[in-house]
Amino acid sequence: MSLSKMVGLHPDVAGEVNESLVTAARHSMLCSLFCTSCADACLAEDMDMRSCIRACLDCAEICAATARLAVRRSSQNIEMLRAQVETCIRACELCAAECEKHDHEHCKLCATMCRECAEDCRKALPTIQ
């Protein structure tokens, strides 16, 4: 399945898909899943991982919301979408910084995903007009 194709079929898009924004939406949804999985893995660790769990769960929610807003084309609120993408960038940066404090492989992978998501959102930001 192609998210680009789905977005392109929207009557308000008329085939002119913002590929950077679709990529950011796809990566945001994936990042949400990585963060959720990392938080769950942190629960099973033998040390106090509350800060990491909180950062991951907050980031997961923000990334999921960003993905949903990014694929909505009807009556777009550009200011809201830009603010959400900016929030996603910041949430991913904070989560990555927290995960990088830990030696767990799931935290390292989550941090990498968060950095990649933030980068895709940064690339999409100037295209949101």
What CATH number has the domain bearing residue 55? Answer: 1.20.1270.360
Domain count, the chain: 1
Provide mean pLDDT across the span 96-125: 98
Contacting residues for 87 by C-beta, under 8 A, at least 6 apart: 62, 66
Provide the mean pLDDT of the chain.
95
pTM (two decimals): 0.94
How many percent of the chain have pLDDT more than 70? 99
At 95 the pLDDT is: 98
| Predicted pLDDT of residue 91 | 98
Q: State the Cα–Cα distance between residues 36 and 16, nearest whole angstrom.
A: 33
pLDDT computed for residue 76 by the predictor: 81
DSSP letter at 102 equals S
What burial class does residue 80 get, using C-beta atoms within 10 Å of its C-beta: 0-12 exposed, 13-18 middle, 19+ buried?
exposed
At residue 97 the predicted structure's pLDDT band, cuts being 50, 70 and 90, is very high
Q: Would residue 17 be called left, alpha or beta, if left means φ above 0 and alpha means ψ between -120 and 50 degrees? A: beta
- Stated as kind and residue range, the H or E segment containing 76 is none
Residue 98's domain comprises 3-127
